[in-house]
Amino acid sequence: VVGLPARGKSYIVFNVGNARRVNEASHQHDQSANFFDPKNKEGAKIRDELALMVLEQLIDWLKSGGRVAIHDATNSTVQRRKLLIDRLSREPEIKVLLLESVCTDKNVLERNFRLKLSGPDYKDKDPAVALSDFRHRVANYEKAYEPVGEWEEENDIQYCKLVNVGKKVIAYNISGYLSGQCIFYLMNFNLAERQIFVTRHGESEDNLTGKIGGDAPLSAKGRKFSKALARFVKGRRIAFALDLAERKIKEEEELNDPTRSSDGEEEDKKEDKVKKVKERAESISNSQFTIWTSMLKRSMQTAEAFDPDEYDIKSREGMTYEEIKLKYPQEFQARQENKLFYRYPGMGGESYIDVIHRLQSMIIELERMSQSCLIITHRVVLRILLGYLLEWSQTQMPHMLVPIHT
């Protein structure tokens, strides 16, 4: 990844900044803006050493079975990028794709600057002092900044530039399946704040008997859950809208007047602000909200307590796990030993890996959407979605506890 600080690189992960903070804690190096001054030879040497150390960790991970790894740092000079690429040139099986995040939107930059104040470099520090130091740090990076382009093209290095969070995308010399998929993913990525609810369907009549699959309707308890779910989501949407509206209005006020303080604010102005927050929150809560369900009865019936305008609409099915254990002990044991890759035999049998691949287009759509949504689904799909959203590993994900009415 390439780009100046606060350009949104960390959203899109072997992080050099984390390594720098660990190093600082043990060696007591100055981590103020002066450390990032291009004239600070000692600081530049330490940062290059840390970048290479993290790169070695990344290489080890790829060699142990990883497919796509991100070296997350500014990497904002040709000298730094050449240093990394020279090392990677000794690993012919690893392909390099440079991703540069460029941001020219002053409002987005200002929000990102303020977001940095809650990060590990500035936590518990005076906000005014921290913001001043970070601006100084960015200015130091800008002195030496060399955008991706001419040198990379002379050396036929593939790269992609994302301008203002994907409003403009420039790609050069992209080749290979994984590189193409990375670009496709990033072109569908956005930073809109929204809610993503994921839940298992309500209890079905088959759940009461322990049967797998089937298409049974909801039980009485499942129908009760459906109504409770609608109330819960409505409450969370209202709370989210109020919080988002308040923060957006505060950001707008700070951008218009950075010295402004709410202390001593006149009562009538406070009332106007409360009214403005409520109006903005109402607009947010009334914005489009989508519900996705599977086509099975138990999922569709779980969505019935919501407004209908909101939702878009195998061989071992019908058996319990105990019945499978008795009738097909070898299959049962094989699944227990490797749930991630085990595929039920016969037509329609799927492993977790099969379902992961099947869900890729759905995950891309989730990233593309700017509106909030609710997904009503089944245990395997829920585990995979939660694994993606919560960054669980593939080995952890199949064993995630997701009881009924999760």
pLDDT confidence bin for 30, thresholds 50/70/90: low
CB atoms within 10 A of CB 206: 19
Please provide residue 28's backbone torsions phi and psi, each rounded to the nearest 5 degrees.
55, 40
Query: Whole-angstrom Cα distance, residue 297 to residue 288?
Result: 24
Measured CA to CA in angstroms, residue 296 lies from 16, 130, 196 at distances of 46, 53, 21
Do 196-399 and 9-187 have the same topology in CATH? yes
Lowest mean pLDDT among 87-91, 217-221, 253-257: 253-257
- Reply yes or no on whether the pLDDT at 358 is more than 90: no
Q: What is the pLDDT confidence band of residue 345, given thresholds at 50, 70 and 90? A: low
Distance (Å, whole) CA 370 – CA 364: 12
pTM of the model: 0.71
What's the CA gap between 324 and 369, in Å, rounded?
A: 40
pLDDT in the model for residue 163: 92
Residue 348 has pLDDT above 70, yes or no: no
315 — pLDDT class (breaks 50, 70, 90): very low
Q: Hey, what are 98's tokens? A: 């440079």
Element at 102 (helix H, strand E):
strand 98-102
CATH topology of domain 196-399: Rossmann fold (3.40.50)
CB atoms within 10 A of CB 50: 19
pLDDT value of position 64: 87
The residues assigned a catalytic role are 72, 103, 378
Say if residue 9's pLDDT is above 50: no
C-alpha pair distances (Å), 50 with each of 43, 84, 177, 306: 11, 11, 30, 52
Residue 44 has a pLDDT of: 84
For the ranges 173-177, 233-237, 337-341, which has the lowest average pLDDT?
337-341
Tokens of 398: 């199949």
Above 90 in pLDDT, residue 89? yes
Asked if pLDDT for residue 154 goes beyond 50, the answer is yes
For residue 222, the model assigns a pLDDT of 95
State the burial class of residue 21 (Cβ atoms within 10 Å of its Cβ: 0-12, 13-18, 19+): middle
> How many Å apart are CA 52 and CA 27, to the nearest integer?
18
Helices (H), 102-195: 106-116, 127-144, 150-154, 177-187
* pLDDT band, very low/low/confident/very high, at 240 (cuts 50, 70, 90): very high
pLDDT of residue 105: 87
Question: What is the percent of the chain with per-residue pLDDT over 70, rounded to a whole number?
Answer: 78
Instruction: Tell me the residue ranges of DSSP E strands in 201-321.
Output: 289-293, 311-312
| 18-27, 104-113, 234-243, 270-279: the lowest-pLDDT one | 18-27
DSSP 339-385: TTT---SSTT---HHHHHHHTHHHHHHHHH--SEEEEEE-HHHHHHH
The arithmetic mean of pLDDT across residues 258-265, rounded, is 55
Q: What pLDDT does residue 11 have?
A: 38
Domain 9-187 has CATH 2.30.40.10: no
Q: pLDDT value at position 350? A: 57
pLDDT in tens, 128-147: 888 888 888 889 888 999 99
Q: Tens of pLDDT along 322-333?
A: 544 555 566 556
Domain spans of the chain, in order of start: 9-187, 196-399
Answer whether residue 182 shows pLDDT above 60: yes
Give the model confidence (pLDDT) of 370-401 as tens digits: 889 999 988 888 888 898 888 887 788 888 88
